[in-house]
Chain A
Amino acid sequence: MIIGILGRKVGMTQIYQEDGTAVPVTVIEAGPCHVLQIRTKERDGYEAIQLGFLDKPRRLATRAERGHVAKKMESKRAKRRQALGIPIPPKAGCEPKRFIREFRGSVEGHEVGQEIRVDIFKDVPAVDVIGITKGRGFAGVMKRHGFAGQRASHGVKKVHRHMGGTGCSAFPSRVIKGKRMPGHYGNQRCTIRNLKVVGIDTEKNLLLVKGAVPGPKGGFLMIRKTNKVG
């Protein structure tokens, strides 16, 4: 059984515990998701479930996307395969989905078309949240790596936010690989592990986790039971 769901970041707020401490929480709209496909060892070489989150209007979905979820869709290929007696793989029979991701793990107890709701996290103490961080474009070293920059005065001219030296001199006469420099920052996959589950709202499909998660409000997220041990 895989404990994972897809969702969307709603935003952050704070809630109070009974002893008066304020807990910063991120509200995640998690699910409901449909299982669109099941990956098996025999067929795909690994085990996973494929989940889909949020409906995509049929007019915007490609034919492939529609065929991926539709129980029955006429096509030459389908007819040909039918004539050859190849069974049609099980389909979810739901609307095309906007956000589709796979979760690996034992697929026992899952079936195509199954609906996954946020209540699977009922007894889960902590989760991992995977998202795409906010893109910052081409960023300098101060923003990207937290360098200190240079002085405001004492002869520093036009290089206040630059990095300092990049390494050694005559030996080795080159810059060491991996030297942190300006470049593209953000807009990359990021996993935040072991976020405490603070609350669940099954009615509105909300999941509350303590702390921040990557990405902007409205950004898509993968949430799974944490794989952190201890």
Chain B
Amino acid sequence: MSQDLIRHVEQKYLKSDPPQFEIGDTVEVHTRIVEGNKERVQVFIGTVIARSGGGTREMFTVRRIVQGEGVERKFPLHSPNVLKVVVRRHGKVRRAKLYYLRDRVGKATRLKERFKRKKEKVQVAGEEELNNTNNTQTQEPATAGAE
């Protein structure tokens, strides 16, 4: 019963259409960043390796390699600062948490990407154009975010 009440409270703060993606997907996460009174959008691109929590506390972890160094960022799924999550490519994975990627470098992670590419061809044809449009839009902030 108490859980129901908490769910009731959270209801108001959940996104009506939370971003759709799966574990193993390569995604662009668009976050709003406020610096002083200026606002800009930062984009973080990487692989979703985990989802955790529920309700308003749901988070997802995105991992990428920056200059040979693994970088992971954890985003709150329902935060108003997470503007959108664009799926670039689906990954073929067999588990919910891809922590094993942390132990892999270079080739090993690339191997995984090849799996994804294979899957993408088979599964999502309609997704292709959606991705293309998104890519052109976000080209600029993507570089900004990488700095």
Contact = CB atoms under 8 A, between A and B. Distances in A.
Interface of A: 10-11, 13-16, 18-20, 22, 25, 27, 29, 199, 201, 204, 206, 208, 217-218
A16 B56 contact: yes
Interface stretch (B62-70, B72-80, B90-98): B72-80
A218 B76 CA distance: 28
B60 to A, nearest CB: 15
A15 B79 contact: no
B9 A16 contact: no
B81 A204 contact: no
Interface of B: 2-3, 5-6, 8-10, 12-13, 32, 34, 55-57, 76, 78-81
B57 A10 contact: no
B56 to A, nearest CB: 5
Contacts of B13: 15-16
What is the predominant secondary structure among interface residues of chain A facing chain B?
strand
A15 B34 CA distance: 19
A208 B34 CA distance: 27
Given A13-B9, A13-B55, A201-B9, A20 B32 contact: yes
Nearest to A208: B9
Nearest to B15: A16
Contact of A27 (B6, B78, B81): B6
A218 B3 CA distance: 11
22 contacts: A10-B5, A10-B6, A11-B6, A13-B9, A13-B56, A14-B56, A14-B57, A15-B10, A15-B12, A15-B13, A16-B13, A16-B76, A16-B79, A19-B34, A19-B80, A20-B79, A20-B80, A20-B81, A22-B76, A204-B5, A206-B5, A208-B9
Given A13-B10, A13-B57, A18 B5 contact: no
A10 B6 CA distance: 7
B78 A16 contact: yes
Contacts of B32: 20
Residue of B3, B13, B76, B79 ringed by the most chain A CB atoms within 10 A: B13
Contacts of A16: 13, 56, 76, 78-80
A163 to B, nearest CB: 38
Give me the 8 closest cross-chain CB pairs, A-B, nearest first: A20-B81, A15-B13, A10-B2, A20-B80, A10-B5, A11-B6, A16-B13, A13-B6
B35 to A, nearest CB: 13
A67 B112 CA distance: 73
B55 A22 contact: no
A22 B2 CA distance: 21
Contacts of A22: 56, 76, 79
